[in-house]
């Protein structure tokens, strides 16, 4: 099996209920951080990691994601006719090649594992990345690129992990960790959303994965897990022992943009990193 990763799956079929009523018409994946939607940041991260084919798992009411990913000749023409060539170039640079964009459809919200299973035919028999758009990650080296570097040496399954307060482990898939080599941790087991007192550690899986295609067989032959959904963590836990499994304590800062606090934090942090916005924002906060 090749130790390179050229395909990525973006599960974008979620309902975004925490952001209603905004997400009644705008998918949460298209909510902006400054001037780019969350989805665009994830796409750019994937491109920087060498991904060449992009698979989006959408659902009912998510047609605007396909529209966003499509070409906009009328808009580009209007921008150029209005002398806004810099804006037009920026818009063009955000577009993916049409022949590298693919869509799968998740008719019912049956969980992350089910969403990934919907991409099975498009992924085929090769390793692939999964990016959860809700997890917005600031890092000098893109998080997925860090995983790809590890995968090129280890093969198998490589998951982005981070430490969280023990009181918050119930929100995550949690590692039963094995040997640790610097920031690379062997995974002996995984538990989905345990009670804090039952958690094997405070090392948790976050929204970046590199997986072998073998995971599809486990997802297809799986009962409902936590929340009545088909959980990816449960399928991965069943694979441990048969395939190499590692967690990478990635370098960077993650913002959980699945809730309003995380999205606000990501927006402020991004603004503070922009020379054109930092001074204005700092002064405005001081005034407030």
Taking the C-alpha atoms of residue 183 and residue 143, their distance in angstroms, rounded to an integer, is 13
Handedness of CA 137, 138, 143, 144 (dihedral sign): positive
Cβ contact 49:57 at 8 Å = no
CA distance 230 to 219: 7
How many whole angstroms separate alpha carbon 271 and alpha carbon 277? 6
Q: Are 196 and 167 in contact (CB under 8 A)?
A: yes
| 97 phi/psi in degrees, rounded to 5 | -60, 135
Distance CA 235, CA 258 (A): 23
Burial class (CB in 10 A: 0-12, 13-18, 19+), 198: exposed
pLDDT for residue 282 is more than 50: yes
pLDDT in tens, 52-110: 999 999 988 888 899 989 888 888 889 888 888 888 888 888 888 889 999 999 988 88
Q: What is the DSSP letter of 243?
A: B
Q: What mean pLDDT is reported for the chain?
A: 90
Q: How far apart are CA 260 and CA 68, in angstroms?
A: 22
CATH code (residue 193): 3.90.550.10
Residue 1 forms part of a structural domain:
no
pLDDT at 200 over 80: yes
Q: State which H helix or E strand residue 266 sits in.
A: helix 260-272
Q: Tell me: the pLDDT tens digits for 140-166?
A: 999 999 999 999 999 999 999 999 999
Helix intervals (H) in the chain: 38-48, 63-69, 73-81, 85-93, 112-117, 120-123, 143-154, 215-220, 232-239, 260-272, 275-287
Among the listed residues 204, 180, 181, the one whose alpha carbon sits nearest the alpha carbon of residue 192: 204
Q: Which domain holds residue 239?
A: 7-287
Beta-bridged to residue 105, according to DSSP, are 58
* Residue 221: band (very low, low, confident or very high) from pLDDT cuts 50, 70, 90: confident
Predicted local distance difference test score (pLDDT) of residue 1: 46
pLDDT level of residue 29 (50, 70, 90 thresholds): very high
186 found inside a domain: yes
Q: What number of H helices and E strands is found in the chain? A: 11, 13
- Total number of domains in the chain: 1
* Angle subtended by helix axes 275-287 and 260-272, to nearest 10: 120
pLDDT at 2: 46
Query: DSSP code of 251?
Result: S
């Amino acid at each position: 099996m090749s130790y390179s990763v050229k395909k990525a799956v973006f599960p974008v079929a979620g309902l975004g209920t925490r952001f209603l009523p905004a997400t009644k018409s705008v998918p949460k994946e298209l909510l902006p951080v400054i001037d780019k939607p969350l989805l665009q940041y994830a796409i750019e991260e994937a491109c920087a990691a060498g991904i060449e084919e992009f698979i989006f798992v959408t659902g009912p009411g998510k047609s605007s994601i396909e529209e966003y990913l499509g070409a906009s000749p009328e808009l580009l023409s209007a921008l150029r006719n209005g002398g806004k060539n810099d804006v037009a170039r920026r818009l063009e640079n955000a577009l993916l090649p049409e022949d590298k964009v693919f869509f799968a459809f998740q008719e019912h919200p049956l969980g992350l594992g089910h969403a990934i299973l919907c991409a099975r035919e498009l992924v085929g028999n090769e390793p692939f990345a999964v990016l959860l758009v809700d997890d917005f990650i600031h890092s000098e080296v893109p998080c997925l690129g860090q995983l790809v570097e590890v995968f090129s040496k280890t093969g198998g399954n490589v998951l982005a992990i981070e430490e969280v307060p023990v009181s918050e482990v119930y929100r995550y898939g949690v590692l039963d960790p094995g040997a640790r080599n610097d920031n690379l941790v062997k995974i002996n087991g995984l538990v989905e959303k345990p009670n804090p007192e039952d958690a094997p550690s405070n090392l948790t899986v976050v929204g970046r994965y590199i997986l072998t295609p073998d995971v599809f067989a486990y997802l297809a032959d799986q009962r409902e897990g936590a929340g009545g959904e088909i959980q990816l963590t449960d399928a991965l836990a069943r694979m441990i022992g048969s395939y190499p499994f590692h967690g990478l304590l990635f370098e960077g800062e993650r913002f959980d943009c699945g809730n309003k606090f995380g999205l606000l934090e990501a927006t402020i942090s991004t603004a503070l990193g922009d020379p054109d916005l930092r001074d204005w924002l700092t002064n405005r906060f001081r005034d407030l």
